[in-house]
Structure 1
Amino acid sequence: MKLRTALMGAAAMMLPLAAQAQDEGGERGRDGHVNIIYWQAVSIMNPYLSGGTKDVEAASLVLEPLARFDPTGELVPYLVDEIPTVENGGVAEDLTSITWTLKEGLVWSDGTPVTSEDVVFTWQYCTAEGGGCAQGAKFDAVSSVEAIDERTVRVNFSAPTPYPYTAFTGAESPIIQAAQFADCLGPRAPECTDANFMPVGTGPFTVTDFRVNDVVELAANENYRDASKPAFATVTFKGGGDATAAGRAVMETGEFDYAWNLQLAPDVIESMAQGGMGVPISAFGTLVERIEVNLTDPSPDLEEGVRSTVEAPHPFLTDPAVREALSIAIDRDLLVEVGYGQAGRATCNLVPAPELYADAENTGCLTQDLDRANQLLDEAGYMDTDGDGVRETPDGEPLSILYQTSTNAVRQDFQALIKEWWEQIGFEVELRNIDSGVFFGGDPGSTDTFQRFYADVEMYANNFPGTDPQAYLGAYLCDNIPSPDTQWQGENINRYCDESYDELWRTLSQTGELDERGRIAKQLNAMLTSQSNVIIPLVDRGRVSAHSNTLGGVQLNTWDSELWNAADWYRTE
């Protein structure tokens, strides 16, 4: 089963005929048990305290937003009956507010009513003073959230906001129960382990057992709003291992029904598919493998609270010439060939899609140029004065880089290749890989999370929900820098701060004309990539997962959680 066939088109998917059949409905829990495996183990069931995709997606089985994005990127209602627009009166004509109306009779999994106060509280939770919120960019344009009545909530913006659908939409911004999290505001948020591990939700499942970085056991939500769903009574959500074991567990041995993010060489996936127990499913979206550059000093010689904070600028990565040299030294086409084949495309963009927002002219990084990289470093005064092969700063500090990523075969292959290229232009490179459950976790006490960033550069992939990149690009605003004061939460892990970027983003948030939004987004993308190389994009990755031949209803979704419609899954035989 060739991946090149699976990846023809942004929403292409390979599904067996049985899986395309429609479930005829029936009694909740009728199909027994389903097994899901994410080789990046779940650390927490609260997406507001973790930016890790595996945590966000696991939580999406329990916690839901007001609206989600379907596999085409279209916004569809979940906890509401319709999407507010200017035409239906839900969005103010002056674009300064959006009003949502909850479904009638909506209840939490504990049987209590869901009200507009829960929506208000969710905003208060993420913006509470003294706390840190991994999804803070979703609320950057929001000035207040108010309950109009028990089912109606109004989100007010600080200025006219033509795209009002960032807060409370998509898997990263669900509604949490005010009663459960009432004592978990600000600095206390990470301490509420019961709520963070076993949240009360409106989704199709509830957590019955949670083991950090291991397994989550779930059961059907008896108060779910559709009496015939979910079809599965129980779920085992297993974490850990690696992508190879996860793929085999679905496609070769049949031990699991769904395996996420098979970041494997294409020939390996094709070989697994020959096992006959399951099939890979694939689609391109906005997932970009990238290198993030730390603009602050992660040296262990610095005291805690200063290390990797804006108080300590990096000794050489703050120099644009150094960052450009690192970028153009990389052969992205070879990375694609080695790591992804037809499931990858070399890119210089942080925002690779949709077409309106993707800068087709940003191609300068696609050609590897070691000579130019060396020239840039020479001209900037970085010389190898002692002949050991490593350049030094004018102050005599070696250009030594700690390059970290999560433990994964493809990523370690990338590290080895990039280390070789960077050494050719005079850098000393130490490689480090961290268990993905820890690296992408949100534990404020861990020094190994990607948000804390105790390294010079780090590599991972990320994407944004839906088809509009406003909130995604808002992650790099000055106010979103992680620090001890935010318990190391915040999306701006590079510690990038440019007032002109912030101002341009504010212009984007107030611009309604689509072509102009596209132009501004491309400019913001360029400021982070080709103009500064604070972010070094590598590969526009197709999402590849797999499901068993007996699991029906799966619709791979690159614009939201892959588990976005788990309530519709069922057993085909």
Structure 2
Amino acid sequence: MKLKSLMLGAAAAVALAPAAFAERGADGEVKIIYWQAPSILNPFLSGGTKDVESSSMIIEPLARYNEKGELVPWLVDEIPTVANGGVSEDLTTITWKITPGLVWSDGTPFTSADVKFTYEYCTHPEGGCAQVTKFEGVTSVDTPDDLTVVVTFASPTPNPYGPFVGGESPILQAAQFANCLGAAAPSCTEQNFGPIGTGPFVVDEFKPNDVITMSANPNYRDPAKPAFAKVTFKGGGDAASAGTAVMETGEFDYAWNLQLAPDVIAKMQAGGKGVPVAGFGPLLERIHLNNTNPSPDLPEGERSTAMHPHPFLRDPAVYKAMSMAIDRPLLVEVGYGDAGKVGCSWVPAPEAFASTFEGCETQDIEGAKAMLEAAGYVDSDGDGVREKDGVRLSVLYQTSTNAVRQDFQALIKDWWEQIGFEVELRNVDASVFFGGDPGSPDTFQKFYADVQMYANTFNGTDPQAYLGNMLCDKAPKPESQWQGENISRFCMPEYDALHAELSNTADMAERQRIGRELSAMATDQGALIPLVHRGRISAHASSLGGVVLNVWDSELWNVADWHRVKSN
């Protein structure tokens, strides 16, 4: 199945959409299925895409990105720029003007105080925020009046669109979350499971890792939207059952993230009930290397923290050999077909920010063996596992439960064993793995394994905030309730300094050069191993109109425009 044909199918579906709706709620119920079930409806307490996207139906940012990657106003009148006076000439402030008359779903006014509160919530020194990188460099958020927000940066910031922009950085209602600052944030169950928002829907009931029921927001800013009165948002199962439920049986209207082999998707589409939609953004399947020691022999609170470096994964000979042993073209063929490309850069898109990775497309088992041998890793007892200074090359390799990922695990385990590693495989239910529960030992943030595999992406077309995920102070730790985006616990002062340079650079060509250098530094210095640049593939019912796949923001970014296509 060709990715281009999927995109043409999406365009055809959009063409069926009428220009306007008759009235709010006229089209009854829409059913959405995410086989990775949402665990929380607060993206500040989870880095999982499933949680960010389900939340985006309820709580919203000031601005977001459209399907072309263009920044568009959402809860404001216009995007601030230097030209219109919204960004200061010295690039140290950005001023947002909130659209007058906006109200929360409970009918109370949406004001600048809510925006300022959201900043204070995410940056509270006693708390942990999964999206704190969005506020890197911010020194204050001020509110001259109810409709004006002034964000001030410590130094000139050519890209000031991190805070309050995109599905990962929405606004929380200050009144609802007032008692949820700092360490109290994870315990605010009522707020985290049922946030009051400005989006098209409100939460009726949330059952974590299972189902969300929602109703049309009676106070939504467009009186004709949303077209659907009710939403059933089902979580769980697997990608295959989700795709089947839309394209073959017609039980659901939208299925997210069909991480399936191309022939499987083609067979489902033949069912005639729905169509797949796809597009390439910055989504990268990769393996993160734990730069710290996850050994269960360490005391709780010290595992996977900077207190204890990893015994061998910080050695370039080790992680470079692990990368050399991987046959990326085979992974693409087995897992994604035309919906995948060999991944050689942590930031694979936009292309101008993609770094080069020499030898990425060629597997070299013998070269990997030779590299380990030269570095002193030898199999001294003939059991097939190399060791050095009494430390065996033994790794626990974990990922989320998914057929494609388990296929990848099996292949990579074999390749690594061929070069002298001992490999134990583990998979965790995706709802738990990506859930962000600070009490769970199984989350990808806690990283109680040596290596782990998953994919994620970023909002918009400028990766500055995303590249900030590898800053030393962004590592999850007990004091941050295990929130943080530096999953590998990678720490390199030179990287931090170069990222600071990126933050202060205005020239686009130079920003792209620095971005490529940062991306290359993360792979060259052992933070992660890129595998596959993935296309995002989802599916919608043939009767569901208004769907516009967006690879630069939440897939549910325009859910207010979805409607039921009337048959002739």
Structure 1 length as normaliser, TM-score?
0.98
Is the counterpart of residue 514 in structure 1 residue 508 in structure 2? yes
Deviation for aligned residue 1:7: 6.0
How far does residue 4 in structure 1 lie from its aligned partner after superposition? 3.6
Following TM superposition, by how much is the alpha carbon of 1:13 offset from its aligned partner in structure 2, in angstroms?
Answer: 5.5
Higher alpha-carbon deviation: 385-394 or 484-493: 385-394
Tell me the CA shift for residue 15 of structure 1. Answer: 4.2
SS at match of 1:238: strand
Residue 528 of structure 2 aligns to which amino acid in structure 1? I
Q: Could you tell me which residue of structure 1 aligns to residue 541 of structure 2?
A: 548
Aligned to 1:562: 555
Distance 1:18 1:370, change over 3 A: closer
What is the deviation of 1:18? 7.0
Residues 78-119 of structure 1: per-residue CA shift (max 9 Å, x gap): 000100000000000000010001010010000000110100
Deviation by residue 1:116-140 (Cα, 9 ceiling, x = unmatched): 0100000000000111000011001
CA distance in 1, matches of 2:357, 2:162: 26
Matched, 1:383 2:382: no
Aligned to 1:50: 46
Say if 2:10 and 2:548, in contact at 8 Å, map to a contact too: no
Deviation at 1:22, TM superposition (A): 2.3
Equivalent residues in 2 for 1:314-393 (5 A)? Answer: 314-359=310-355, 361-393=356-388
Asked whether the equivalents of residues 18 and 549 of structure 1 are also in contact (C-alpha less than 8 Å), the reply is no
2:447 equivalent to 1:453: yes
Which amino acid counterpart does residue 526 of structure 2 have in structure 1?
A: N
Q: Describe the superposition over 1:518-547 as per-residue Cα deviations: whole angstroms up to 9, x where unpaired.
A: 000000001001x22321010000000000
CA distance in 1, matches of 2:230, 2:10: 26
Of 191, 194, 198 in structure 2, the residue corresponding to residue 198 of structure 1 is 194
Structure 2 equivalent of residue 307 of structure 1:
303
SS at match of 1:364: coil
CA contact (8 A) 1:316 1:393 kept: no
Partner of 1:83: 79
Alignment of 1:390-401 (within 5 A): 390-394=385-389, 396-401=390-395
CA RMSD of aligned residues (A): 1.0
CA distance in 2, matches of 1:13, 1:462: 25
Share of identical aligned residues, percent? 65
**Secondary structure in 2 aligned to 1:14?**
helix
| Secondary structure of 1:223's aligned partner | coil
Which digits, 9 at most, give the CA deviation of each residue in 1:204-226, with x for residues without a partner? Answer: 00000000100000100000000
> 1:534-561 CA deviation, whole Å, 9 max, x = no partner?
2101000000000000000000000000
1:23 positional shift: 4.0
Give secondary structure in 1 for the equivalent of 2:161.
coil
State whether residues 239 and 259 of structure 2, in contact with CA within 8 Å, keep that contact through their aligned partners in structure 1: yes
2:435 to 430, 441, 445: 441
Task: Name the structure 2 match of 1:138.
Answer: 134
TM normalised by structure 2 equals: 0.98
The letter for the 1-side match of 2:480 is T
Q: Give the superposition deviation at 1:379.
A: 1.2
The one-letter code sitting in structure 1 at the alignment partner of 2:284 is V
CA distance in 2, matches of 1:331, 1:532: 20
Whole-angstrom CA distance in 1 between matches of 2:37 and 2:510: 41
Residues of 2 paired with 1:208 and 1:393: CA distance?
57
Q: Distance in 2 between matches of 1:17 and 1:373?
A: 48
Report the Cα offset of residue 296 of structure 1.
Answer: 0.6
Deviation at residue 21 of structure 1 after TM alignment: 2.5
**Deviation for aligned residue 1:571:** 0.2
Determine if the alignment matches structure 1 residue 184 to structure 2 residue 176: no
Amino acid of the residue matched to residue 451 of structure 1? Q
CA contact (8 A) 2:13 2:545 kept: no
Q: CA deviation at 1:17?
A: 4.7
Q: State the match for 1:419 in structure 2.
A: 413
**Amino acid corresponding to residue 425 of structure 1 in structure 2:** I
Task: Note if contact 1:126-1:136 (Cα within 8 Å) is conserved in structure 2.
Answer: yes
Tell me the equivalent position of 1:472. Answer: 466
Match 1:408 to one of 402, 412, 417:
402
Contact 1:286 1:352 in 2 (8 A): yes
Structure 1 residue 24 displacement after superposition: 2.5
Who is 1:493 aligned against? Answer: 487
Q: Distance in 2 between matches of 1:347 and 1:244?
A: 24
Matched ranges for 1:108-187 at <5 A: 108-187=104-183
| Residues 498 and 89 of structure 1, relative CA distance in 2, 3 Å threshold | same
Stretches of structure 2 lacking an aligned partner (at least 5 in a row): none
SS in structure 2 of the partner of residue 541 of structure 1: strand
Displacement of 1:63: 0.6
Write out aligned runs for 1:249-288 (5 A).
Answer: 249-288=245-284
Q: Structure 1 17/40 Cα, relative in aligned 2: closer, same or farther at 3 Å? A: closer
The structural deviation recorded for 1:269 is 0.1
SS in 2 for 1:161: coil
CA deviations 1:336-361 (Å, max 9, x no partner) are: 000000000002101111122123x4
1:518 and 1:4 map into 2 onto residues whose CA distance is 27
Which residue in the other structure is 1:242 paired with? 238
Give the match's secondary structure for 1:381.
Answer: coil
1: CA distance between counterparts of 2:6 and 2:70?
Answer: 20
